[in-house]
């Protein structure tokens, strides 16, 4: 689950980390009031959306008066902001963060994430703050320094010092900088984040260390123990169909094609998409009904697939292990009848109770095309929709 | 011969009194696995169809000489269950549970390593050695046949698909290992490849990966350097869009890295025979064996 910048900074402050003074605004009046309350000569108006690349897309504006602040807000608020990360339609900006401007001296990049190879969290930092880390990684990988974070005790003090000195942080600020790194690791561990990124973490000419930006992604699997953080969820940022699927215990991702897929197991679901493409078709979605779906879940899965107007046919591919093929077959028959399904439907059932399952389909009187294996299934559905 | 589980396996189930724990424990026993006990805190004294239940893993181990455990404990408590098993001296820990917090996984993996134990999973179907009638997991036993192909995979049902294709072609399996779909797992492709290379009962290896991370690339390099047996590979998710999690917590193309194309290329560069289509998992293996003969 992604947090907005203002929410991430709220978490930072909860752990004693310094952030710029800032006020959240959702209307032009609030933006004006926020500018006045900050009482500085310079402020920044920042669009609060999850996608990165806001600055380059015009979602972050420096302003020097209340009028300028309102003008900037007018150009962003309520309008879609299209960055290179959020697709052709962009995301409508509903919230702004108005922050004080700061006398920045140097900018650094800092992030904590789980290293899959080490199977441990790592802190990554570079003195090239403000630039996207993917660019730095590509052009100058040696500029990225890393230290391992202990998953229980956090970032060891000596590691925090070592990376601080290696980044060339000015001596008078080194202690503060190292402490900031340790505190960011604490946010990562205690909030069960899968990523904490500060880009940039800045030092100022008046010798402060401040988290100028903030990005936090929480581990969905750990939300059960962070009830307070669940409330920070912004459903406007999520695909409504994916939300519905998740609530029904299904895993769904929308794609561009026209062949809907209903599969059990993530690996088999991906392989089913792949084989449709290999046979010249285009999958409309990824959908994993899980290991033990009920008849109701199968019906919900069908509804979700059919919500996509692009769908011209459906392929059901089930390899029964825990899941019994007869239960799936009954679910398919019930859903087909209840929804009055009209598009071509190809069903491939294999594994536990497959004979019973195939019998239910054959005796249903519905126009369901049975397939013997994955190749047969893919070629039949591709032919049916073309 | 086989790896990880076999005739010497003495299995306990942690979470045996739950619906799935019970169902799968009985299915394992029916397949031939020597199930010696179960463990559910607070439920000692009861038995599950003749299988004694203990409060703690250490007691279960002392009383029964258990050397392997299968874990069905809910995600919130699974890390604790894994650490309990490792601390009690259980050598093989098969963690079926899905949805464990990633940091719990990092912590428990470290505990397992420190105790000198081995963990399979989490979020995996388990391990099966058909020739030794030993199943420690949730896979349907009947699709497997005894033989000499070692199978290692990050997924569940896709592995069943592969096993079925192999069995249809008369290619039985020595051991099938589902290593799990999470970003942090106890046993990797490389660990499993090394065991298959050493195992006299394994003649060739089918390795199945999916998008996300770089485990397949590292495994390919390992194959090139250390594996002399024929290896067939497959990678699921060539049509997956970047930045989207495809069901498994670990299946995500992040920052342009972890694509199926990169993984398949690494496999080919290591001399692995790559099955382009998931319908060709068995036939690619048959061809690889024929080429070797």
Please work out, in degrees rounded to the nearest 5, the angle formed at the alpha carbon of residue A295 by the alpha carbons of A292 and A296. 105
Write the pLDDT tens digit of every residue in B84-123.
Answer: 999 999 999 999 999 999 999 999 999 999 999 999 999 9
Residue A39 DSSP class: -
Residues paired with residue A44 on neighbouring β-strands, in sequence order: A62, A99
User: Which H/E stretch holds residue B273?
Assistant: strand B273-274
Write the pLDDT tens digit of every residue in B264-280.
Answer: 999 999 999 999 999 99
Residue A92's CB is within 10 A of a number of other CB atoms, namely 14
Write the pLDDT tens digit of every residue in A34-81.
Answer: 999 999 899 999 999 999 889 889 999 999 999 999 999 999 999 999
B chain contacts of residue A251, beta-carbon cutoff 8 Å: 246-247
Q: Rounded to a whole number, what is the distance in Å from the CA of B217 to chain A's nearest CA?
A: 11
Q: Rounded to a whole number, what is the distance in Å from the CA of A351 to chain B's nearest CA?
A: 7
CA distance A152 to B139: 34
Q: Contact A322/B138, CB-based, under 8 Å?
A: yes
Nearest to B242 by CA among A70, A12, A6, A84: A84
Supply the pLDDT for residue A116.
87
Supply the pLDDT for residue A181.
98
Write the pLDDT tens digit of every residue in A325-381.
Answer: 988 899 899 888 888 888 999 999 998 889 999 999 999 888 899 999 999 999 999
Q: Is residue A141 scored above 80 in pLDDT?
A: no
Q: Is residue A1 scored above 80 in pLDDT?
A: yes
Q: Is residue A322 scored above 80 in pLDDT?
A: no
Could you give the 3-state DSSP secondary structure of residue B219? helix
Q: Contact B156/A286, CB-based, under 8 Å?
A: no
Lowest average pLDDT, out of A218-227, A291-300, B120-129, goes to A291-300
Could you give the 3-state DSSP secondary structure of residue A359? helix
Query: Mind telling me the catalytic residues of B?
Result: 248
Supply the pLDDT for residue A139.
76
Q: Tokens in use for B15?
A: 């979470």
Residue B278 DSSP class: G
CA distance B140 to B28: 10
Q: Contact B155/A283, CB-based, under 8 Å?
A: no
Question: Distance between alpha carbon A193 and the CA centroid of its chain, in Å?
Answer: 12
Could you give the 3-state DSSP secondary structure of residue A329? helix
Identity of the residue in A276, A286, A321 whose CB atom sits nearest the CB atom of B157: A321
A chain contacts of residue B119, beta-carbon cutoff 8 Å: none
Name, of A155-169, A295-309, A316-330, the range with top average pLDDT: A155-169
Q: Is residue A295 scored above 90 in pLDDT?
A: no
Write the pLDDT tens digit of every residue in B213-258.
Answer: 889 999 999 999 999 999 999 999 999 988 888 878 777 877 777 8
What's the whole-number mean pLDDT along residues B5-12? 97
Contact status, residue B95 vs residue B75, Cβ threshold 8 Å? no
CA distance B291 to B288: 5
pLDDT averaged over every residue in chain A: 93
pTM: 0.92
The torsion region of residue B247 among left (phi > 0), alpha (psi -120 to 50) and beta comes to left
Q: Contact A319/B161, CB-based, under 8 Å?
A: yes
Please work out, in degrees rounded to the nearest 5, the angle formed at the alpha carbon of residue A138 by the alpha carbons of A51 and A3. 20
Contact status, residue A350 vs residue B164, Cβ threshold 8 Å? yes
Q: Quote the percentage of chain A above a pLDDT of 90.
A: 75
Contact status, residue A229 vs residue A282, Cβ threshold 8 Å? no
Contact status, residue B39 vs residue B67, Cβ threshold 8 Å? no
Supply the pLDDT for residue B248.
80
Supply the pLDDT for residue A66.
95
Burial A107-134 (b: 16+ CB within 10 A, else e): bbbbbbbbbbeebbbbbbbbbbbebbbe
When pLDDT is cut at 50, 70 and 90, the band that residue A242 belongs to is confident
Nearest to A381 by CA among A287, A258, A252: A258
Cβ-based contacts under 8 A for chains A and B: 173
Q: How many CA atoms lie within 13 A of A380 on its CB side?
A: 19
Q: Rounded to a whole number, what is the distance in Å from the CA of B63 to chain A's nearest CA?
A: 31
Identity of the residue in B100, B236, B246 whose CB atom sits nearest the CB atom of A253: B246
Supply the pLDDT for residue B84.
97
Cis preceding linkage at B170, omega within 30: no
Write the pLDDT tens digit of every residue in A121-136.
Answer: 999 999 988 767 777 7
User: What are the angstrom distances between the C-alpha of A73 and each of A37, A44, A245, A247, B229?
Assistant: 16, 10, 35, 35, 64
Query: What does R_g of chain B's alpha carbons equal in angstroms?
Result: 18
Cis preceding linkage at A74, omega within 30: no
Q: Is residue A150 scored above 80 in pLDDT?
A: yes
Map tokens 């019970």 to a residue.
B22
A197 part of the active site: yes
A chain contacts of residue B245, beta-carbon cutoff 8 Å: 253
* Full 3-state SS string of B97-150: CCCCCHHHHHHHHHHHHHCCCEEECCCCCEEEEHHHCEEEECCCHHHCCEEEEE
* Intra-chain end-to-end CA distance of chain B, in Å: 21
Residue B152 DSSP class: E
């Amino acid at each position: 689950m992604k947090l907005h910048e203002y929410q991430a900074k709220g978490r930072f402050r909860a752990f004693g980390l310094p952030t710029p003074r800032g006020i959240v605004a959702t209307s032009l009046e609030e933006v004006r009031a926020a500018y006045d309350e900050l009482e500085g000569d310079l402020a920044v108006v920042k669009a609060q959306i999850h996608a990165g690349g806001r600055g380059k897309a015009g979602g972050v504006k420096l302003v020097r008066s209340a009028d300028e602040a309102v003008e900037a807000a007018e150009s962003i608020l309520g309008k879609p902001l299209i960055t290179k990360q959020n697709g052709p339609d962009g995301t409508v900006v509903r919230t702004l963060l108005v922050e004080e401007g700061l006398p920045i001296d140097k900018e650094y990049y800092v992030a904590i994430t789980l290293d899959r190879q080490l199977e441990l969290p790592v802190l990554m930092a570079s003195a090239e703050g403000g630039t996207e880390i993917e660019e730095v990684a590509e052009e100058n990988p040696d500029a990225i320094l890393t230290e391992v974070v202990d998953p229980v005790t956090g970032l060891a003090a000596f590691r925090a010092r070592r990376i601080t000195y290696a980044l060339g942080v000015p001596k008078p600020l080194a202690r503060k900088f190292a402490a900031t790194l340790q505190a960011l690791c604490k946010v990562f561990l205690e909030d069960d984040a899968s990523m904490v990124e500060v880009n940039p973490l800045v030092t100022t000419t008046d010798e402060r260390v401040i988290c100028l930006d903030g990005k936090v992604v929480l581990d969905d699997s750990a939300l059960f123990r962070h009830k307070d953080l669940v409330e920070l969820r912004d459903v406007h940022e999520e695909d409504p169909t994916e939300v519905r699927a998740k609530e029904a215990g299904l895993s769904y991702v929308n794609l561009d094609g026209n062949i809907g897929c209903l599969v059990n197991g993530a690996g088999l679901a991906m392989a089913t998409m792949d084989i449709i493409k290999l046979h010249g078709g285009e999958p409309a979605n990824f959908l994993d009904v899980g290991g033990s779906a009920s008849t109701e879940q199968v019906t919900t899965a069908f509804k979700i697939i059919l919500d996509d107007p692009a769908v011209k046919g459906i392929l059901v591919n089930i390899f029964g292990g825990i899941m019994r093929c007869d239960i799936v077959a009954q679910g398919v028959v019930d859903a087909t009848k209840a929804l009055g399904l009209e598009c071509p439907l190809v069903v491939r059932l294999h594994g536990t109770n497959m004979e019973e399952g195939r019998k239910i389909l054959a005796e249903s009187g519905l126009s369901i095309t049975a397939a013997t294996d994955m190749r047969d299934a893919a070629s039949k559905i591709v032919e049916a929709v073309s | 011969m086989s790896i990880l589980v076999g005739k010497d396996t003495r299995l306990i189930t942690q979470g045996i009194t739950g619906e799935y724990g019970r169902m799968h424990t009985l299915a394992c026993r029916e397949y031939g696995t020597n199930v010696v006990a179960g463990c559910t805190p607070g439920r000692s004294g009861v038995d599950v169809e003749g299988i004694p239940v203990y409060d703690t893993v250490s007691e279960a181990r002392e009383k029964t000489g258990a050397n392997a455990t299968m874990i069905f404990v809910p995600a919130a408590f699974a890390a604790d269950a894994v650490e309990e098993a490792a601390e009690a001296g259980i050598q093989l820990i098969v963690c079926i549970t899905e949805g464990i917090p990633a940091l719990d996984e990092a912590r428990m993996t470290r505990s397992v390593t420190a105790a000198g134990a081995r963990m399979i999973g989490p979020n995996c179907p388990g391990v099966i050695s058909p020739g030794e009638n030993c199943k420690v997991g949730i896979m349907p036993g009947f699709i497997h046949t005894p033989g000499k192909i070692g199978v290692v995979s990050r997924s569940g049902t896709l592995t069943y698909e592969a096993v079925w294709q192999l069995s249809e072609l008369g290619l039985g399996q020595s051991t099938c290992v589902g290593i799990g779909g999470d970003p942090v797992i106890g046993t990797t492709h490389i660990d499993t490849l090394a065991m298959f290379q050493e195992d006299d009962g394994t003649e060739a290896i089918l390795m199945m990966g999916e998008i996300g991370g770089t485990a397949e690339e590292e495994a390919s390099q390992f194959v090139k350097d250390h594996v002399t047996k024929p290896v067939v590979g497959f990678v699921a998710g060539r049509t997956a869009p970047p930045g989207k999690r495809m069901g498994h917590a670990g299946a995500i193309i992040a920052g342009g890295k972890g694509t199926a194309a990169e993984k398949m290329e690494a496999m080919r560069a290591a001399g692995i025979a790559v099955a382009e289509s998931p319908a060709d998992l068995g036939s690619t293996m048959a061809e690889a064996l024929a080429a070797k003969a």
